[in-house]
Structure 1
Amino acid sequence: METRMAIVLLCAALAANLPFILNKVAGVWAVPRKHVGWCLLELGVLYFAVGGLAYLLESQVSPVHVQKWQFYVTTFSLFLVLAFPGFIARFFWKRRA
């Protein structure tokens, strides 16, 4: 059980920062400068992808518990907290020339 939880947490941390690390839209289309809107869209898509992985892993162990909207708001907020380092590195970190 702990291994599955660690897998989900590591995937969530990686997926939360991925939109801010990659310079391509959806990891495929190269753009000169990636707009913050694309990053937020990718962040939402990756949130649902990690949620699907968590659902899949939970369904292998036991019956899946029904969740209400509070659960999804909380997990999305935690996903945003995990995305904070990538956001800072992309938009606020001054790169030396």
Structure 2
Amino acid sequence: MDQSAAVWLVLVAAVIAANLPYFSERLLLIGPRRSPKSGWWRLLELLLMAMLIFALGSLLEARIGQRHSQGWEFYAAASCLFVTLGFPGFVWRYLRRGAHRGDD
């Protein structure tokens, strides 16, 4: 896999992983169904998904060539980007869908 494909793979996986906690009512996507799932569970799932995406990026970087060590600045910026990528799921769960719950 070349470098460009690896970058696109990580970005697409990050967009999907950042939105998954908002679209599922299951704990950690495989556990028992909770309705409604608390915001703390969603934050925990978001953190775990971010860690999985960071591991995927690190694995692909090591496979392509030499893995570079990163400082805290990289992880702070990447975490902010990951949260931003999850914005569509957040809007769907708490803003759009929440406004229509009284109509049911």
TM-score bin (small chain):
over 0.9
Q: Specify which structure has the higher proportion of strand.
A: 1
Aligned partner letter, 2:65: S
Number of the residue aligned with 1:63: 66
Q: Specify which structure has the higher proportion of helix.
A: 2
SS at match of 2:29: coil
Q: CA deviation at 1:82?
A: 0.2
CA distance in 2, matches of 1:45, 1:2: 25
Structural mapping, 1:1-97, within 5 Å: 1-28=3-30, 29-93=32-96, 94-95=99-100, 96-97=103-104
Aligned residues: 97
Q: Any runs of at least 4 consecutive aligned residues in structure 1 with deviations exceeding 6 A, and if so which?
A: none
Q: CA deviation at 1:83?
A: 0.7
CA distance in 1, matches of 2:27, 2:88: 19
TM-score, structure 2 as length reference:
0.89
SS at match of 1:26: helix
Runs of 5+ unmatched residues, structure 2: none
